[in-house]
Structure 1
Amino acid sequence: MFAFLRRKELSLLVVKLNGKAVCSIAAAELPCEKNPAIQLEANSVLELIDAKGHSHRHELGESTGWFHFSIRVHPNLACQADCVITDAREYDPDAFSEGRARGIRFQPFFISGASVANDKLYGQGLFARGLHFSGNITPGNTILSCVCDRCKRSFQIHSYHSGFSSTGYFYSDSGRFTITVHDRVPGCPAALAQPDPVHLATLEAKLPRAPDGTSYRYANPFRCPHCSAPYIDFDAYPKNRQTEYYGNYFVGSELLRYEFGD
C-alpha cells in the first residue's frame, strides 16, 4: 500500500552505450554483476556514470560486433568492467579462451563515496590501477582501455609480458613510441631486475632515435597520446619501473625492436 510514496533508490552506477542507458546498479544489490550484451558499430562510446554525475568514458575504437559486458561493483564501491567482442548474440565462453574473440579491459575506478579516492592512483602503474594482476597473465587478445589522469580522455593499448618475451622496453621522450631490447643485450632492463647503471647508460646511447626524433630512456613515463601527460609516471614512482614488467604500446601503432649491433 502507498508504494507510490516510497522514494526510489538512486542508482550508484548507470551504464550507457552511445548515450542510451543499458543497465544500472543500486547499493542494495552489492556485490553485483550485470551482463548487458549489445551489437555496436565502430566508434561507439561506453559511459559509466555514478550518482554524483562523475563519468568514466571509454571510446571503443574500430571494434564492431556483439559486445558482451561484465560490469561489477564491489562492496567497497570499486567498479570493474570488461567485455568480450564476438560475431554472435549468444555468448560462447570458449570463444575468448580459444582466441576466436577479443576482449577489452576497462580501467577500474572507485565510485563516489568510496573510502579510496581515484586521484590516489594518478601516475601509478597498471598493477596498482587494476589493469594487470600479479600472478595472472593478461591474455594477448585483451586490449586495455585507459583513462588519462589529466585530460580524462580514454586510449587503448596493447600490453605484452616482457619476461615471457625475454625483452626489456623503453618509451620515447614523446611517449608515442615503444622499443624492445632482447635481455641478452648488456644493460637491458630485464623483468623484475634492476639494470646495471653503467651498462644501461651505454645502451641508451646506442638506441636509435624514435621516428619523431626523440630519445628512448629507461625512466621515461608512458604518456597519454592526447595531452602527453605522464600516465605511468616513473619520475613520481621510480620503484615501479622494475616491477612494471608489461611493456605497452598504443593500438594502431607498431612495437619497435632494437637489434643488437644496430
Structure 2
Amino acid sequence: MDSKSPNIILILSGKGGVGKSTTAVQLALTFRKIGKKVGLLDVDFCGPSIPRMLGLEGKSVFQSPRGWVPIYADAEQTLAVMSIGFLLKNRDDPVIWRGPKKTAMIKLFLEDVYWDNLDYLIIDTPPGTSDEHISVMENIRSLPVLGAVLVTTPQAVAVGDVRREVTFCRKTGIRILGIIENMSGFVCPTCAECTNIFSKGGGEALAIHAKVPFLGCIPIDPQLTQALESGVSFIDSFEGSNVTETFKNIAAQITSS
C-alpha cells in the first residue's frame, strides 16, 4: 500500500451468484466516472471473474521497485485492477490452495501492490465468511476502512445469508455502509418496463431490521449482462439507464457517509 492510503470498501455477500462481483465492478466504474481514482482488488480466489468483466483477460502483472504494478482498465490510469486471475494461465485453471497460501496472497495484494495514490480501494471478497475474509480484516486494521457494502437478491434464502454477513461485520468491527438488492426485477430491453421475476423488498426489509442504510435496487438488465460478457463499461455506454442512475445514487450515498 502506498503513502496515501485509500478509503477501503469491502463488497460482501452471504452466498454466491447474487452479483457481488458485478456490483464491485459497476461501483468502481461509477467512482471513476465521477472523477475518483479507484483500485479494484479481486480476492475471490474461487471465481476471479473481474478481469473478464473489464476486458482485461490475458494481461500480466509485473513487479517494480515499489511493488506489484496493477493492470489499468483505462488509458488515463484511473482504474487499477489486481486479481489472482492475472496469475493464472487461462480462465479455466482452478486455484487449488490451502488456507495459509491464500492468506499469504491476500497479504501480498494488500501490502505489496503499488496502487499509486488511490481515492478508493474496492475489495471484492469471496461469498460467505471464510478464512479469506478474516485475512482481509487482519491486514486492513491499520488502514482507513470506509466500510462494507452487502449485496443480496430479493429471495428469502439470499437475504437469510446476508443476515450472517451483518453479524460478521458487527463482530469484526466493520461499519456497514448499506445493503444493495440486486436482480430486483427485470428491465424489458424493448419497452424498458421493469417486471418482478423474483420477490421484491427483501433487501430493504433486512436493512430496516438491521438498522443500516438501504442503498438501492438494481434490476436485471440484459444490456448489463452483455457489457460484462464483452468487457465493456456499462456505466460509460448506457449513461441514462436505470441501472447507471442507481449506481450513481449509491456512489453518492457512500461518498457522503
> Per residue, is there more strand in 1 or in 2?
1
TM-score interval w.r.t. the shorter chain? Answer: under 0.3
Kindly indicate whether structure 1 or structure 2 has the higher relative contact order, using CA contacts under 8 Å at least 6 residues apart: 2
Give the structure with the higher percent helix.
2
Structure of larger gyration radius: 1
Q: TM-score, normalised by structure 2?
A: 0.25
